[in-house]
Amino acid sequence: MNTETDNYDSPWKDMLEHAFPEFMAYYFAPLHAQSDWSQGFEFKNTELRQVVRDAELGRRFADCLVRVILKGGGERWIYIHIEVQGQRDGSLPKRVFTYNYRIFDRFDCPVASLVILADDDPHWKPDHFAFEVFGCRLSLTFPVVKLSELARSQEKLEHDANPFAIITAAHLRTQQTRNDPQERYQAKRMLVRLLYTHGWDRQRILDLFAVLDWMMRLPDGLENKLWQDIEQIEGEKRMRYVTSVERLATERGMQQGMQQGMQQGIQQGECSLLVRLLTRRFGTLPEWVNTRLKQAHTDLLETWGERVLDAKSLEEVFGDTRH
């Protein structure tokens, strides 16, 4: 079984936005109790990208920034930065620290950085970053939830009505069945059946099914068998929710292809424009510049484009890395 498909970035980010209060209630219950959810909350993910766009700190598994109001009278806003890390990464503590102080610097408001560790290393659980020089000490300690530690109560969380309980169960089952497609099929079938037992509305079931389907990839034969099982389950429950998604699968694939093509077109256009600007400003470009441009994502191209106007050299545009 190809394990490269076990990727959770998009489902985690989607569910964070769909059910953020429940996310906080499940993983950070004491902090959830201190927030006044009746006043609403606001995602600031665009602002987060602007804050960290020039921080080349490695691939982010999933992150988001949310503004909430604390209880206690008055409008006391804080920012919550969520980081979901999928594998062991020694740079994580520094990245959380960097994001925290950049967000604070941008908004001049208290920032809580919360971390979910979805890796399978039982010995890795970083929760702070600190340094000291000449008697000056700066540190950040952040709350951490390690998903693998929840495996001890796996049967209980599979029947928990909080949607992030079933997401956690799916994550654990995916890790446990990485090399056993038949066992993964059984686990996925069981979790899909559980979607219909909590009285959730159609949209919640569809959102959660999308997460399960993304996480727990199956070979084509078992995938087709699962769709037959889902049709039977929905017939028993008299809820034609998920099987309606199957009819949209081809259309969804076409839409994804169009979106990927549009993204590639935008990236190529920005790259061509940047080449013209750099050539006009600095003359013929060395090979290392062309290599960096070809490998860069859209956000990085935009950052370099903003630097062109004020930079005195190519090194100032690209920083001091030439790979």
How confident is the model over 156-207, as pLDDT tens digits? 888 888 999 999 999 999 989 988 999 999 999 999 889 888 888 888 888 8
Taking residues 12-21, report their average pLDDT: 84
Span 251-271, pLDDT tens digits:
444 445 444 554 555 566 667
Helices (H), the chain: 9-18, 20-27, 29-33, 45-52, 92-107, 154-158, 163-176, 181-194, 202-215, 220-237, 243-246, 249-282, 287-295, 298-308, 314-318
Q: Return mean pLDDT, the chain.
A: 80
Tokens linked to 318: 């690209």
DSSP designation for 55 = -
> What is d(CA 241, CA 231) in angstroms, rounded to the nearest whole number?
10
Per-residue pLDDT for 1 more than 50?
Answer: no
Which letter does DSSP use for residue 312 in this model?
Answer: S
Domain boundaries, the chain: 29-142, 150-247, 265-318
* Greater pLDDT, 181 or 76: 181
How many residues in the chain? Answer: 323
> Mean pLDDT across the stretch 25-37?
93
Q: What is the CATH number of domain 29-142?
A: 3.30.300
The pLDDT score that the predictor gives to residue 88 is 87
**Per-residue pLDDT at 134 exceeds 50:** yes
